[in-house]
Amino acid sequence: MFVRNALFAAAVCIPLSSAAAIEPRSPLPPVFSRPGTHWKRAGKVSADQVIHIDVSLTLNEKTSENGAKYLQEISDPASAKFGKHLRPSEAAELFTPPLEHVREVAQWLNSSGVTRSRMRLSLDLAHIGFDATAEEAEALFDAEFHQFASEDGSVHVASDKYSVPERISAYVEFVLPTAEGESAATFVPDSVEVELPDDGDALRTRATGDGVDCFKYMTPHCLRKLYNIDDGEGVTPHPDNTFGFFTPSFSTWISEEMKTFFARFEPRIKNPDPIVMPINGGYRFFDADLINFNLEPHLDYQYGMAIAYPQPVINIQVGDQVQVGNLNTMLAAFDKDYCTALDDEFDPIYPSEGGYNSSDCGTHTPPRVIGIAYAWNEAQFSDTYVKRQCLEFLKLALQGVTVVTGSADRGTADQLNTCIDPETGETGPEVGHFSSVFPASCPWVTAVGATQLRPTGNQTWNEDTPFPGEESLDYQGTTSGGGFSRAFPAPWYQAGQTKAYLKSTPSAQELGEKGYFDGRGRGYPDLSALGLNYLIRTNGALRAVRGTSASVPLVAGMFAKINQARLEAGKGTIGFVNPVLYTLGKKGFRDVTVGANEGCGVDKAFETAAGWDAVTGLGSPDYAKLLDLYMSLP
């Protein structure tokens, strides 16, 4: 959304005419950075081609720091402000560029020939947009625009260099040119589908009561027993308790599959359809029986609803039949000003021709707990892009929203199983420096890794016997994702733990010294939970799935249940949980000290250790103890 020209002129006081002066200039970093897609220069852009230019203004660094400091105060259990979450408008105000910075940039553009009638200012004051010919834009930014083509035929317009006058360089974060037909980035579900083997003995009646051996397959009943989760009997959902999952368009759950699953594993749920929150169309695909469209939603909603019973679960369905929605699509629907910060290079822009004929900007209220069982490659984006999106997660945290995301399933590689070439910086298959996963690498979300039960003497487990314990997930190529971000430094709540881990783990320290990762970065995951052989009903069969997106609905469901208990007691929702987990978490976690992940040509990359580690985080939660901990807080 943009300010009208008259209001723009009044806001920034642009004179009707002025002349540009020759003055010293400062370079800006080029935004175009997609190492994994192997873009090649395809020729210079013609001088008369019209390009849309987005001048992104630097967010007020002081207020951004203040936002993180305020989050520390309201999420630190020792603080008097604990739990005093902000309203959306209050959170947004922390990240507005100073008006004098906007004015100076707009006046420079006007003096350079981009008249005020051509400029559009975003409502959050963070972007000035206008259309220009390539020739005009090149002169304005001392740039040279070329077309870049990828292996899949996509074309992008970019320059290797940009500059602006030195006096305003501190106010401009980047310049983004866009043209029609540029494609969005790839995201991958965190789960791996496996056909259920013909193992009748494992499905015969056991002491668990639902006919499943919990050592071989996971069901809601097994998880409740293993993690001390109450069954929710007698609970009436609190109206302020909301819980949902991000689901991109085309992906969908099927009512009959949901009914079949719950009839066997949670028969108390009679109406198993989630509540659909459609964003920019909220398109669901029913025209073919395709497991890629159905597996992840069935995993999320079958286990999210069962664990959080009787809490209703919201299906945040993002995108239309023309453009598949992504995280920014969802985040813009929660923040009316963020629509203007979307990036044509990576994000679908609505309205869609032939699709959704509007744009959902700030039209929806985020659930109190959001599960995200999808992963992106951090190196696929520019630092500017991931840092800006991460600020939206900071805004949600300030508002008391708990975001739970998976750490992916390829160990130290990203979810696409690619690593970073130390010579070129590009990502490629399987060998190289470690490649971080996003949004798990953002410090303002809670990243969840995956574990499996440790072997027992007879390879089975009866709920009347002691808990068998957990080790990091490493099964048939699936290994719990974990490591250190290259884009974000370690936040205050974990800096001590990540340093202690590297100091006590010589093998990891050696890999860091060789440049495989940056040990100063945000470490992930924050915690872990079982992620092997969850039984789900999808595409006409009972199937077993594994991966960190199996652990996401389990952990997110636990947090939703804790919110329910706190609301019933007249307390607030838990909000951003990481500071509590890192400071008091020992009271509610089982440490996982067996196992390691692998990836990028390193068989044993990060090893588990006492306390936090880069494989399983702080360990796996004991729900009953975690609930007691949160109920003891104000």
SS3 588: helix
Predicted local confidence at residue 441, as pLDDT: 98
Q: Is there a domain that residue 83 lies in?
A: no
Q: Are residues 443 and 562 in the same domain?
A: yes
247-259: pLDDT as tens digits: 999 999 999 999 9
Residue 103 has pLDDT above 50, yes or no: yes
Q: Give the helix/strand (H/E) hosting 396.
A: helix 383-398
Q: Is residue 269 part of a domain?
A: yes
Residues 344 and 413 in one domain: yes
Judge whether residue 167 has pLDDT over 90.
Answer: yes
Picking from 16-25, 174-183, 395-404, 593-602, which range would have the lowest pLDDT averaged per residue?
16-25
In this predicted structure, the answer to whether residue 65 has a pLDDT above a threshold of 50 is yes
pLDDT band at 459, cuts 50/70/90? Answer: low
Question: At 373, is the pLDDT very low, low, confident or very high (cuts 50, 70, 90)?
Answer: very high
Model pLDDT, residue 458: 66
Q: Which range is least confidently modeled, 381-390, 545-554, 620-629?
A: 381-390
Whole-angstrom CA distances from 553 to 223, 296, 374, 395 are 11, 11, 12, 22
User: Where does a domain end: 151, 178, 205?
Assistant: 178
376-380, 490-494, 575-579: segment of lowest average pLDDT: 376-380
User: pLDDT tens for residues 529-582?
Assistant: 999 999 999 999 999 999 999 999 999 999 999 999 999 999 999 999 999 999
Q: Are residues 166 and 225 in the same domain?
A: no
Q: Is position 119 within any domain?
A: yes
Q: Say whether both 475 and 391 belong to one domain.
A: yes
Q: Work out the percent of the chain whose per-residue pLDDT is above 90.
A: 69
The region, left, alpha or beta by phi > 0 then psi within -120 to 50, assigned to residue 306 is: alpha
Please tell me which residue in 104, 193, 300, 474 is annotated as part of the active site.
300
Q: Are residues 250 and 131 in the same domain?
A: no
* Residue 20 one-letter amino acid: A
Residue 380 has pLDDT above 90, yes or no: no
Asked, for residue 285, whether it belongs to a domain, the answer is: yes
Q: Is 300 a catalytic residue?
A: yes
In a domain, 87, yes or no: no
Q: Is the pLDDT of residue 38 over 60?
A: no
Model pLDDT, residue 463:
67
Is 104 noted as a catalytic residue in this protein? no
Domain that holds residue 43: 2-60+96-178
Residues 258 and 146 reside in one and the same domain? no
Place of tokens 């838990």: 574
392 and 289 within one domain: yes
* pLDDT for residue 16: 46
CA nearest to 448, candidates 542, 370, 331: 370
Q: What are the two backbone dihedrals, phi and then psi, of residue 403, each rounded to the nearest 5 degrees? A: -110, 120
Statement: residue 326 has pLDDT above 60: yes
Supply the pLDDT for residue 1: 46
Q: Contact 83/74 with Cβ under 8 angstroms?
A: yes
Q: Which of 148-152, 190-194, 290-294 has the highest mean pLDDT?
A: 290-294
Q: What is the pLDDT of residues 251-285, one digit of tens each?
A: 999 999 999 999 999 999 999 999 999 999 999 99
More confident position, 231 or 64? 231
Residue 178 has pLDDT above 90, yes or no: no
Question: For residue 88, is it within any domain?
Answer: no
The mean pLDDT of the chain is 89
- Domain assignment present for residue 89? The answer is no
Q: Provide the pLDDT confidence category of residue 343 given band limits of 50, 70 and 90.
A: confident
* Residue 192 confidence (pLDDT) above 60: no
pLDDT, tens only, 117-166: 999 987 778 889 999 999 999 999 999 999 887 665 667 788 989 999 99
Could you tell me which residue, 331 or 58, shows the higher pLDDT? 331
Quick check: 119 and 8 in contact, CB under 8 A?
yes
Q: Which of 29-43, 147-161, 294-308 has the highest mean pLDDT?
A: 294-308
pLDDT at 34: 42
Q: Count Cα neighbours of 450 within 13 Å in the Cβ-side half-sphere.
A: 33
Q: Are residues 172 and 201 in the same domain?
A: no
- Please give the pLDDT value at position 577: 98
Which residue in 75, 549, 551, 620 is the catalytic one?
549
Q: Report helix angle 291-307 to 255-265, nearest 10.
A: 40
Token output for 329: 């699509």
What are the binding residues for Ca(2+)?
Answer: 591-592, 611, 613
Residue at which a domain ends, from 114, 145, 178? 178
Q: Would you say residue 36 has pLDDT above 60?
A: no
Cα→Cα distances 330→141, 325, 442, Å:
32, 7, 16
Residue of higher predicted confidence among 481 and 181: 481
The pLDDT value recorded for residue 35 is 37
The answer as to whether 82 is a domain residue is: no
Alpha carbon distance 65, 202 (integer Å):
53
pLDDT band with cut points at 50, 70 and 90 for residue 37: very low
Q: Residue 424: its pLDDT value, please?
A: 86
Task: Please identify which of the residues 296, 360, 607, 622 carries the catalytic annotation.
Answer: 296
Q: What CATH number did the domain enclosing 431 receive?
A: 3.40.50.200
Q: Is there a single domain that holds both residue 6 and residue 127?
A: yes
pLDDT at 18 over 50: no
pLDDT number for residue 154: 65
CA 343 remoteness from chain centre:
16
Strand-pairing partners, residue 304, are none
At 17, the pLDDT band (50, 70, 90 cuts) reads very low
pLDDT(447) > 60:
yes
Starting at the edge strand found earlier in the chain, the sheet holding 534-538 runs 191-194, 541-547, 534-538
The string of pLDDT tens digits covering residues 104-121 is 999 999 999 999 899 998
Do both 213 and 104 map to the same domain?
no
335 plus 356 within the same structural domain:
yes
Both 144 and 206 in one domain: the answer is no
Note if 441 is an active site residue: no
Percent of the chain with pLDDT over 70: 87
pLDDT given at position 205: 40
User: Has residue 388 got a pLDDT over 70?
Assistant: yes
For the ranges 35-39, 138-142, 425-429, 595-599, the lowest mean pLDDT is seen at 35-39
- 187 compared with 308, residue with greater pLDDT: 308
Q: Per residue in 225-237, pLDDT tens? A: 999 999 999 999 9
Number of domains in the chain: 2
The residue from 150, 178, 206 where one domain ends is 178
